[in-house]
Structure 1
Amino acid sequence: MASSFDTTLAGLGINRTGATTPQTITRAQQQTLGQDDFLALMTAQLKNQDPFEPVDNTQMVGQMAQFSSLAGITEMGSTLKAIADKLGASSIGDAIGWAGRTVLTEGSVAFARASGGIEGAVELDKAATDVSVTITDMNGGVLKTIPLGAQKAGTARFDWDGKTEAGEDAGAGPFKVSVRASEGAAAVTARSLVWAPVASVSMASGEPMLTLPGIGQVKASAVRSVG
């Protein structure tokens, strides 16, 4: 006659030899034991122990510690999943918030404002004694060169009114923006920053990706400023 321990094992699909009964258990049950299963096994062990060789106190403490750890890990897993779900929802909400905004980011193509011309900036890795911005049409024809003089390391802004060197209206663009910076005879690393409207937003590896006209896709973390 089977003992209550055997009955408990049988309820889990396990017999004395370790064979399973796949007809009555799921794949998840075959691979893992939950808190209830662990407690049932430990209770059966206590009820069916040999009275002449009772379970050693050290073993009992170890089993209780395992049970406590299992409970803690299970609860932690549930909590982390809830946090991940919350962060995922926040990330999507953040991504939607970018739609329709105008951002300042690294790029060389810009479109004119409604009032004409463009605003942008030069990002300098270190101080420079001579900085200039050149704006051309898409064929490379120079429309305007804007001298910014000496600048400290960081960001130096510029504003072009949309007029060519000859004083003519340059139109709506698109325009190409290039920068030049030097410290004496040595070149200084510099990047052009332009304003662009966010045409659409997508998620990539948990981070919003912004699609900007004339620039392409840019990570939200690459945005320097938001208008």
Structure 2
Amino acid sequence: MRKRRRCMETESILQSSAYTTTSTDTATPSNELDDDAFMTLFIAQLENQDPLNPMDNTDMLAQLAQFTTVEQLSSMNENIASMLDQSNAQVINSAVSYIGLDVVAEGDQVSVGDDGVSPLYYTLSDDATEAMAYIYDEDGSLVDTVALTDLTEGEHTFQWNGLNSDDEQVAKGNYSVGIIALDDQGDFISVSTLCQGTVVGMSAQNGTTVFELSDGRTVNMMSVTDVYTNSAS
């Protein structure tokens, strides 16, 4: 009877560890043991072991080592979470400091507004013999094609006049620019582009911080190459 009572006590501990009671006394299943539940179960296991066949020291040490490892991993996770929170806070504080400033960042869009057309900077990886800029509206329709004259290796500025292929003023808005350059062998040359605008806001998209520009364009914070004081301020 004593052995059966001890087995019932151990079973009771297991059941209390596997369920938590809500304020309405409704049992809710739980898949995890906290520190207190583990130690209670471990002590009960020691107290109710068969005196003629006690737990092997190796098994006992293995259980304790496993518990210690879980504790260390739990503490590590908490530390990592804390570091991520601090890092996110630093990123947000850094991003806010950009508001009101002009930035140059990776991008292929220009903005047509009351003040004209924003510039686009392009870099040729090698000397080109010909290069063309293709301007598309927000619907993806080609509105203009411009032959470029700055064809040497390095960075150049493309300043579109805001007119379509019929020399008519285009509507205000954002336009994408695609640049294709060829060398003297007719092979394509790598071209990278940068855009410029004033930061007015920020948001998080797909785990990255994105700057919102005054004309509605967006650029990735990590792609910013230059920062200037807004000349209009």
Identity %: 22
Match of residue 127 from structure 2:
128
**The 10-residue stretch of structure 1 (82-91 or 54-63) with the greater mean CA deviation from structure 2:** 82-91
**TM-score of the aligned structures, taking structure 1 as reference length:** 0.67
Q: Which runs of 5+ in 1 are unaligned?
A: 163-172
Shift of 1:127: 0.5
Match of residue 44 from structure 2:
44
Match of residue 181 from structure 1:
181
CA contact (8 A) 1:107 1:194 kept: yes
Counting matched residue pairs gives 208
CA contact (8 A) 1:13 1:22 kept: no
Match of residue 224 from structure 1:
225
Give the 3-state SS of the residue equivalent to 2:150 in structure 1: strand
Change in 2 beyond 3 A, CA 1:218/1:174 = same
Match of residue 80 from structure 1:
80
Paired with 2:204 and 2:35, the residues of 1 have a C-alpha distance of 37
CA contact (8 A) 1:120 1:195 kept: yes
Change in 2 beyond 3 A, CA 1:213/1:13 = same
Paired with 2:70 and 2:134, the residues of 1 have a C-alpha distance of 65
Shift of 1:133: 8.2
Match of residue 165 from structure 1:
none
RMSD: 4.2
Q: Aligned ranges for residues 53-132 of structure 1 at < 5 Å?
A: 53-104=53-104, 105-110=106-111, 120-124=120-124, 126-130=125-129
Change in 2 beyond 3 A, CA 1:110/1:97 = same
Q: Which runs of 5+ in 2 are unaligned?
A: 162-171, 229-233
**TM-score of the aligned structures, taking structure 2 as reference length:** 0.65
Shift of 1:25: 7.9
Match of residue 200 from structure 1:
201
Paired with 2:40 and 2:152, the residues of 1 have a C-alpha distance of 78
Change in 2 beyond 3 A, CA 1:51/1:186 = closer
Change in 2 beyond 3 A, CA 1:12/1:183 = same
Give the 3-state SS of the residue equivalent to 2:49 in structure 1: coil
Change in 2 beyond 3 A, CA 1:80/1:26 = farther
Residue-by-residue CA offset, 1:97-154 (whole Å, 9 max, x unaligned): 3322212132341469x8x986552122x30234668799x99689x977324215xx
Give the 3-state SS of the residue equivalent to 1:209 in structure 2: strand
Paired with 1:63 and 1:175, the residues of 2 have a C-alpha distance of 64
Paired with 2:100 and 2:205, the residues of 1 have a C-alpha distance of 19
Change in 2 beyond 3 A, CA 1:75/1:84 = same
Shift of 1:32: 0.9
Paired with 2:132 and 2:219, the residues of 1 have a C-alpha distance of 23
Paired with 2:132 and 2:201, the residues of 1 have a C-alpha distance of 29
CA contact (8 A) 1:131 1:179 kept: no
Paired with 1:205 and 1:174, the residues of 2 have a C-alpha distance of 25
Q: Aligned ranges for residues 205-216 of structure 1 at < 5 Å?
A: 205-214=206-215, 216=217
Residue-by-residue CA offset, 1:71-90 (whole Å, 9 max, x unaligned): 11221122122122212222
Q: Which amino acid aligns with 2:128?
A: T
Q: Which amino acid aligns with 1:57?
A: N
Aligned structure 1 segments of 4 or more residues deviating by more than 6 angstroms: 131-136, 138-142, 173-178
Q: What is the aligned counterpart of 1:147 among 137, 146, 149?
A: 149
